[in-house]
Structure 1
Amino acid sequence: MPFDLSESSDADIRMSYQSIIQEGSLNWLLLSYGKVRFPALSVLRSPLETRRQWSAGLKLVAAGSQGLNELKEHVTSDEVHFAFVREHVDGENFLVIVAYIPDKISGLRRARALVTSRTVQSWFKAHQGILTISHMDRLNPSSVMAAVRSPSTGGRDSRSPSRTPPPAPVHSAAPTSPSPLVSRAFSSPPNTEKALPHAPYPSVDLVRRVQSDSPPVSRFLPPEERARRRQSMQRRAVIEEREAMRAEADRQAHIKAQKAEILRRSEEEDARRRASLEEELQRRNLTRAQREAEEREAEAERVRQKEEKRRHDAERRQAEQRRIEEWRAEEEHRVEELARQEALFQELAAERLKDASAEAVREKKEKVRAGTQVLMSGWVTMQAAPSLVWKRRYFQLTSTSMKLYKSEKDMSHPLEDLNLRNALSAVNEWYEGFEDLRAIPHSFGIVFRDGKESLSMYTDSDHEKYALMGFLLTYT
Structure 2
Amino acid sequence: MNTSPTHKRKGGFLSQVFTLRRRNKNMHLTPYVQDPAADATPPTPPPKDYNRAFTRRPFLGDEYINEKPLLFDLELSVTAQQVLPHPPAQPIPFLRQIPPRVPVKTHSPPTTPLTPEERARRRLAAQRKTQLEKEAMLREEHERQERRKREKEDQERREREEEEKRKAALQEELRAAALRKARMEREEREIEERQLHEIRERKQLEKERRLQHTKEVERWRAEQLQRAESQCSEKVEERRRSAEGRRVRIARLNEEVFSSKADKMVGWVSVQAPDMLAWKRRYYKFEMGHAESKMLLYGNPREVVKPLDVLPLDGRIDSLAEWYEGFEELEAIPHSFAVRFVDGVEWRMYADSAEEKDRLLVLLSEAAGIIL
TM-score, normalising length: structure 2 = 0.45
Query: Which structure is higher in helix share?
Result: 2
TM-score, normalising length: structure 1 = 0.36
Query: Which structure is higher in strand share?
Result: 1
Greater C-alpha radius of gyration: 2
